[in-house]
Structure 1
Amino acid sequence: MKKFLCLMLAIVVLFPSGVLGQKISDTSKTGNASKKVETKETEEIRNQNIWVPTKNGVQRATYEEALKIESLKAKPLTELTKSYLLGDYKSGKILESYNIDEVRAMASTSKLVAVFVVLDELERGSISKDDIVLIDREAALLGGSSYKLKENDQRTVQELLEASLIVSGNDAITALAKHIAGSQEAFVEMMNDKCKELGLKNASMVNPTGLTNYEIEDYNKMTTREMFLLARELIMKHPEVLEITSKDKIEEPDRNFVEYNTNPSLGIVEGIDGLKTGYTNAAGRCLISTGLQKGEEKKSLDTRLIGITTGSPSDWARYVAANKLMEEGFKKYKYIYIGDPENAITSIKIENAAQDKIDLYEKSQGSILWDGKSEIKREFIFKEDLKPPIDVGETLGSVKYTMNGEEILKLDLINKDRVTQKGILFKIKDMYENIFINIREAA
């Protein structure tokens, strides 16, 4: 027995790996397996029925994100923002608002002013989309949102324009500004001139980016009402801007660059196709959003709304506030058709006309922005002293539509049949009928 034990001890001493190696190896494998399990457990599980923006594009929310979103949805917009506005693009009418006349820091939403200037210059022909812009040191060193450009990189005006809007590149818009005006200072003058041209009396621009300038302790600013005017004018003058802001990302494989659109509503709220986000400590989280709700055939027209939220305390608060504003706006407001030229809307009697009554039709069809609940009333107004004969298509009156006591539409009323004069027999018949009616009433 002693000889056996000595033999085993000698084997262990001489060949330790042979006996213990398998044990050590198993322990190592177990350790790796534990690490794998641990990694899997901490991996984001995106399986909730809520879509959210992520660094990898729009994806389903995690459980924790979904809980956060639901808790924020329970709050009113006044707790999620410092100001908000919902406006109709077509008419320029402000539909819903809160605190919209206080001058506020704009952060990168002010890039819309800079982009307006760039697009004006493109339209004027002073620059071209294919112009090559050399990136200088000043632009390359800018912090904040970035297109990740390096000194001496070269990009076209179009590439820099897209980067300014989609990923809010401070380097991109600065390079454009210097390409157009020679310096940031000269370009800022052009931005302020554009604000004056648009009638934005409270607007003040200090740089193309929207970053706070701590040297002068100032930043780009205007009221929320003016942001609405700016966005509306930009889309009206340069609708091509929406072709850029509706893109979900910029991807450049040659330099391993992939960045998704900063707009937290894009790809989540149906119809959203713009416009610009912003964030600084002074401004909070901001978003100037716009989208198009498609009309229903023979019922409604396409309706574009512009929504603005400012001063949100977090990205999730901005996400909830902006989406809530636009989603509810699309559900509530739409342009509906008013008027039916094909069917008679009313009739009138005309003295000495051969016909007992004259059917009247609306000459054309119009449209009004309806909030889905307000009663639409109509009032007929007929011309006085109408006498036959009357040719087809004459304007014999009008119909006035009102909503909430305000006139919203007025359409001409016309006849589709010629109105002829009564003959002598009709006149005699009417005379005797009037005599008998008078006798009956006198009795």
Structure 2
Amino acid sequence: MKRLTMALGLLVPVLSFAQQQPQPQNWHMLSKETDKVYGADVVKAYNELLKGKTPKTVIVAVLDGGIDTLHEDLNANLWRNPREKAGNADLDGNGYKGDVSGWNFLGGPNGQVTTESVEYQRVYYRYKDQFANVQNEKQVKKKDLQHYRSWVLSKSLLKKADSIAPVDYRGKEVKDDYFNIKDRFYGNANLMGNPYFHGTHVGGIIGAVRGNGKGMDGIADAVKLMGIRVVPDGDEHDKDVALGIRYAVDNGAQIINMSFGKRVSPERKMVEDAIRYAEKKGVLLVNAAGNEGSDIDSLPHYPSPFYMKGDKRAPNMITVGASGATEKGLIASFSNYGDQTVDVFAPGVAIYATLPENKYSPLSGTSMATPVVAGIAALIKSYYPDLTAKQIKYVIEQSVTKIDFPVTKPKSGGKKVAMTELCRTGGIVNAYSALVMAEKMSKTK
């Protein structure tokens, strides 16, 4: 598979599974102790901790490029809006007609967006006339400051290949008032617009049906997947992301998976307000660190866990880097990192999961590591429903498998560093240890 340009993909080149490494297909679920791979200890958790226990169903929203709602390994675990029916009626009165399994913010009544430009192209050409002669921030009105900062960054990212202004594919179909967050009832209920393979893969990692003898098992056994389409082949728009988060929260999602990202966020406040809304409602967000092999403490990747004002970070957000199966390639060479911004690492290399039309394949990226963490969060929430989003974040972070040997820093020419230089916790997520800690925390409540 070639490298994909889509922001939602956060994907890297993937060979056939057999060409990559002689690891089991489900290595990300296995254990260092028994299987000699740095998996997330999910199988061990089921075998030793969860037998005989009854979980409560957890709703996980998959903000992505869509999802195959007909897939043999996903259909039974899709969220169903109990007050809605397919069609053009809005029976539940939430403003989204026929939202049976979720919503698509990338379309209109007659079609949908599949391809888009990258954000820095859009920002550069949108504000070129307004800011071309501005010398510094003192010349910019306060209300325009974020746009100016985004424009300056976009200008630095511009390449010769970007010399032609991008086509506004979104404007052709969506036709909303983009800068008005209150204009939110646009889109349609079709979650299967291209490129929906990515969300299908992400959804499978979290919650493909377990034990049905088909394809692969998801991490969480009592989960309903809510599809929310906000990311095309290209960079997502901030407004769609913000409304996608709000839709998920308003419709009962307890965990939101966000396997996407970009370098420029001109309407960052919209997204931050939505993150704060999710925090207020007790919803956990799991966010991909990105795949440029960069230090995102200094080169931010959005959505960011840090707010624009001050150094406060969202207490309901986990940012995830990608790890491999063995000590030699433990830190994925493509993964972003940052000892302030990235919270944990999780398996994200050659993760075998669902693809459209009842297919399965391994993919690599922080996009794949993120749903590993979201799946563990759903597992914790389903067996310990009294734990809050902030407590689940704490449990996941405090229960990591600590890496006490030097690891290779991405894109450093092979430089070895301590794991604590790459993420806050210095470790890889561990479902078994997290559930043990969750049990103790639940008993003390």
The structure having more radius of gyration, on CA atoms, is: 1
With normalisation by structure 2, the TM-score equals 0.26
When you count helix as a share of all residues, which structure comes out higher? 1
